[in-house]
Amino acid sequence: MTRPWHAIPIAGSAEALQSLPETLLRFDPHPYVALGAPYPPGSDPFRLRRSVVQRLLQAQTWLQHHADGVNVLIFDAWRPLAVQRFMVEYTRALPGVSEDQVLALWATPSEDPSTPPPHSTGAAVDLTLADAQGQPLDLGGAIDAVGAIAEPDHFAGASAGSAEARFHQRRSLLNDAMSSAGFARHPREWWHFSWGDQLWAWQSGQTQASYGRSAQA
C-alpha cells in the first residue's frame, strides 16, 4: 500500500543503531520476540538511531517535569523486514481481521530503498505510558489494535470525568511529551512516533527524510 509520505526523498544517514538505555522502561519480554518473530540471533530489538534515542530521553525528561510519576514505556523500536513480514502474516491470521485492516495497520515490508517501513529505519518507536511502578497505564486500546480505536483522537468527544475522557487525556499527554522532543505521531496510531524518517518529514513539512532502512542486524 502506497503511503503519502513515500514521495519524500531520503537523504540517507550512516548513523548507527543504539540500544536504549536502562533508564527507559520497556516491555519484557519484547512482545514480538515472545510471538517468535525472526530477529537476527543475538540482536537487540530495543534499538534506535542514536539521535532518536537522545530525543526519546528528552521526552522522558519532559514527562518528569509535567506528569509526576509517569514514564514512557517502550513497546517496539527497530524492526527488520523479516519481522515486519512476520507481523503482517500474524495479524492476517487473526480471526475477524480484514485485509483492509491489515494493510492499514502494517507498512508493506518493502525491499525498495525509497519506501522503507518506518520501523526498519530505526527512527520509529511504539510506546505507551507507565505509572511510577512501571505498570502500563490504560490508554483505551491496545498497541497494534485494528480499527478506529487506534486513531489518536478516538476518544476526543468523551464526556468530562468519564474513563474515555481519561484515555484521551493520556493519549494527549503522550503526544505532548513526544512532540516536545520533535517527534511526529502517526495519523492513525496513537502509539507510533518517529523522528527523521519519511513519515516524520511528511508530518512536519520537511522536504526530505534523514533515515532510510538500517542495514544493521
**pLDDT tens readout for residues 88-126:** 999 999 999 999 999 999 999 999 999 999 999 999 999
Domain-embedded: residue 209: no
At 2 the pLDDT is: 80
Nearest to 79 by CA among 69, 90, 68, 63: 90
At 21 the pLDDT is: 97
Q: How far apart are CA 92 and CA 105, in angstroms?
A: 11
What residue spans of the chain are helical by DSSP H?
Answer: 31-35, 50-66, 81-92, 99-105, 163-180, 198-204
Q: Residue 28: which domain range?
A: 4-204
Domain-embedded: residue 216: no
Is the model's pLDDT at 217 over the cut of 70?
no
Is the model's pLDDT at 35 over the cut of 90?
yes
What residue spans of 4-155 are helical by DSSP H?
Answer: 31-35, 50-66, 81-92, 99-105
Domain-embedded: residue 215: no
Taking residues 62-72, report their average pLDDT. 96
For residue 189, indicate whether it is catalytic: yes
Is the model's pLDDT at 210 over the cut of 70?
yes
Q: What is the CATH number of the domain that holds 121?
A: 3.30.1380.10
Overall number of domains in the chain: 1
Dump pLDDT digits (tens) for 168-199: 999 999 999 999 999 999 999 999 999 999 99
Domain-embedded: residue 113: yes
Q: Is the CB of residue 113 less than 8 Å from the CB of residue 11?
A: no
Give the 3-state secondary structure of residue 194.
Answer: strand
Domain-embedded: residue 211: no
Domain-embedded: residue 213: no
State the CB neighbour count (10 A cutoff) for residue 147: 13
Q: Is the CB of residue 129 less than 8 Å from the CB of residue 173?
A: yes
Domain-embedded: residue 217: no
Give DSSP secondary structure letters for 118-135: GGGGT-EEEEEEE-TTSP
Give the 3-state secondary structure of residue 185.
Answer: strand
At 12 the pLDDT is: 86
Q: Which amino acid is at 115?
A: T
Domain-embedded: residue 210: no
At 105 the pLDDT is: 94
Q: Which amino acid is at 130?
A: A
Active site residue: 89, 111, 164, 189, which one?
A: 189
Element housing 73 (H / E) = strand 71-76
Say how many Å lie between the first and final Cα of the chain, rounded.
Answer: 26
